[in-house]
Amino acid sequence: MAAPTSQPSADFGGPKITELGMLSIGFVAAGVIDLAAYFPNRAPLGPVVALLALAAGTLAVNLLLLVRQPGFAWARFRQVFGWMAIVYGVIAGMLEYTFIYDHTRGTVLGLMTVFLVLFTINVPLIDGFTVARFENPPAS
């Protein structure tokens, strides 16, 4: 006997929210790795700023595509996103503390902070979407 399968509550054959979120995280990782590769020397900021713009742009497009999904389980999304945001907010706070403790200053600290914020938004977004898309629609 075959196991029952869950079907998404809405047709997500179009925009790939999870994939775009991972692409944004990939841009974040590439930017942080590029900055860290030059420590303790000064990193060229052009490529890092470009990666930051790509990460932020991808996140913005992802959010726009997500809010345009009809029949999406927003209550479940908010529930999962909220708790995950708390968890990743604490982790981001600890990482920010290590940046400051290690005497990261100026533009590099600013860029690392923005990368950290983008990461901290992307992970709960992906998790919230992944759970909410399989939420059973309310009975009519």
Euclidean distance between CA atoms 125 and 114, whole angstroms? 17
Is 102 among the domain residues?
A: yes
Domain assignment of residue 76, yes or no = yes
- For residue 138, tell me if it sits in a domain: no
In a domain, 9, yes or no: no
Identify the burial level of 79 via C-beta atoms within 10 angstroms of its C-beta, where 0-12 means exposed, 13-18 middle and 19 or more buried. middle
Per-residue pLDDT of the chain (140 residues; tens, 9 = 90+): 555 455 555 555 557 999 999 999 999 999 999 998 988 788 899 999 999 999 999 999 999 999 998 888 999 999 999 999 999 999 999 999 999 998 888 999 999 999 999 999 999 999 999 999 888 766 55
State which residues form the domain around 91.
17-132
Q: Cβ distance 43 to 35 under 8 Å?
A: yes
Q: Is residue 5 part of a domain?
A: no
Residue 55 lies in a domain: yes
